A and B are shown apart, each in its own frame.
Chain A
Amino acid sequence: MLSFLSVFAQEGTQSLFRQSGKIYVVVAVLSIIMAGIILFLIRLDMKIKKLEDSKK
């Protein structure tokens, strides 16, 4: 996965989209949000599992 990303990064050094380097900040923010949502889903999954086990 990391090698994929570095391929993208190398190819795009000329691109206006990434010229200022600020887009990485956006990538970081979006990653944090998504990671948070996924962690929340994992916790929810575990809680439901616990309840299911206690009901049996």
Chain B
Amino acid sequence: MKGLWWKFLGAILVMYAIIGGLLMDAPTTLGQLDETIRNLFYHVPMWFSMITLLLVAFIYNILYLNKGDRKYFIRADSLIKVCFVFGILGILTGATWAKFTWGSWWTKDPKLNGAAVGMLIYGAYLILGNSIEDRVHRAKTLSIYSIFVYPIFIVLILVMPKMVDFSAHPGAGDTQGFTVYDLNNNLRKVFYPAVLGWILLANWIASLYWRYKILKEKEDEENINSEHVDA
């Protein structure tokens, strides 16, 4: 049971965020946002999870290039693939929220478009991976690509939106940070646990995926070896 505590912590926090996020008192001073501010606890953690998964992948990629242990590459690769789940959920939930708040599924919001470009950059990761046959060559090229691309991704979704005039997101462009609206501190009480919970849950899911991948690779190697013996 050792090493399980963070998985349970993640599960409990996500549960708390779902229940608390629906039952808390939303601030009444938010204008067109109104009760939809509750989406803060569901839409935003998707992005925090994605950024964290990619950060962990970035670290594993550096570890792989330094130590040469293939296990690290498989972990990083799995993390990047799982991050697509959260990225797509983030875009879909954001589009839904935008439709009912600003009347459009897709806006000219720099954060939204930055995120979309960032997803395309990581989409290129998948294509690049499929185009290289040799295992070691593939792992090294993908690791270098991922290390290069992560800072660009961060700039696209966290730095660039702060440099423009218009944004639907708090703390970007002409908008204020969400803490300004959080008069009774209720948002914060749910928001921080929600973010932490989803980050842990996302890492749990990614770890299940890479453990499966490592097992599968072992199995494939065994099959190849046994074929050689037969021949």
Closest chain B CB from A24 CB (angstroms): 8
Assess A5 versus B19: contact at CB under 8 Å? Given A11-B25, A52-B211: yes
Assess A30 versus B22: contact at CB under 8 Å? Given A1-B16, A8-B186: yes
Chain A hits for B20, CB < 8 A: 4-5, 8
Residue from the list A1, A4, A17, A38 in contact with B35, Cβ < 8 A: A17
Which residue on chain B has the smallest CB distance to residue A10? B25
Decide if the interface of chain B is mainly helix, strand, loop or mixed.
helix
B7 at the interface (CB under 8 A from A): yes
Interface 1/0 per residue, B1-30 and A, CB below 8 Å:
000000100011011101110111110000
Decide if the interface of chain A is mainly helix, strand, loop or mixed.
helix
Instruction: Classify chain A: how many residues form its interface, as a range.
Output: 20 to 34
Interface centre among B15, B19, B23, B189 (most CB of A within 10 A): B23
Tell me, in angstroms, the Cα distance from A51 to B102 when the chains sit together: 50
Instruction: Classify chain B: how many residues form its interface, as a range.
Output: 20 to 34
A19 at the interface (CB under 8 A from B): no
Interface centre among B15, B24, B35, B211 (most CB of A within 10 A): B24
B212 at the interface (CB under 8 A from A): yes
Q: Which of chain B's residues 16-48 have a Cβ closer than 8 Å to chain A?
A: 16, 18-20, 22-26, 35
Contact B18 A30 (CB under 8 A): yes
Contact A48 B212 (CB under 8 A): yes
B231 at the interface (CB under 8 A from A): no
Point out residues on B near A: beta carbons under 8 Å: 7, 11-12, 14-16, 18-20, 22-26, 35, 184, 186, 189, 204-205, 208, 211-212, 215, 218
13 A-B pairs whose Cβ atoms sit less than 8 Å apart in the complex: A4-B16, A4-B189, A8-B20, A8-B24, A12-B23, A17-B26, A18-B23, A30-B19, A34-B18, A42-B7, A51-B215, A52-B211, A52-B215
